[in-house]
Every structure is written in structure tokens, then in C-alpha cells.
Amino acid sequence: MQVPLWLALIVVGYLGVKLIRPPAWLIAVLLLGGFLLGDSVLASAINALVK
């Protein structure tokens, strides 16, 4: 069974918010921080670290 990545991320995000109930500011900081890190100079360093 192949599930698109965007669908899996939406489901995991929805379940995480429903079950753990983090504050809204924390969700915003994580989303914005991930977006900014993914588009920064550090992206190649993070990619090398993950691989």
C-alpha cells in the first residue's frame, strides 16, 4: 500500500494535535522554524547529518 507523503503528514499532524494537545504557539513555531530551516544555508548540513 502506497500512501502519499503529504497525506501521511496530515494524518500524523492531526492525530498529534488531537492526542497531545500542544499549545498553538508551539505548533506555529515548529512549522515556521522547519520552513525557514529548509530554505536556509543549514539545509545542506542537516541533509548530510540525516543521511
Q: Domain limits of the chain?
A: 23-51
Pairs from 18-21 (Cβ < 8 Å, separation ≥ 24): none
- What are the φ and ψ backbone dihedral angles of 26, each rounded to 5 degrees? -70, -40
> Which pLDDT value is given to residue 45?
85
In the chain, what are the helix, strand and coil shares in percent, each to the nearest 5?
80, 0, 20
- Between CA 13 and CA 10 the distance in angstroms is 5
> Which pLDDT value is given to residue 1?
81
> Which pLDDT value is given to residue 16?
93
Amino acid 34 reads G
pLDDT tens-digit map of 1-51: 899 999 999 999 999 999 999 999 999 999 999 889 888 888 888 888 888
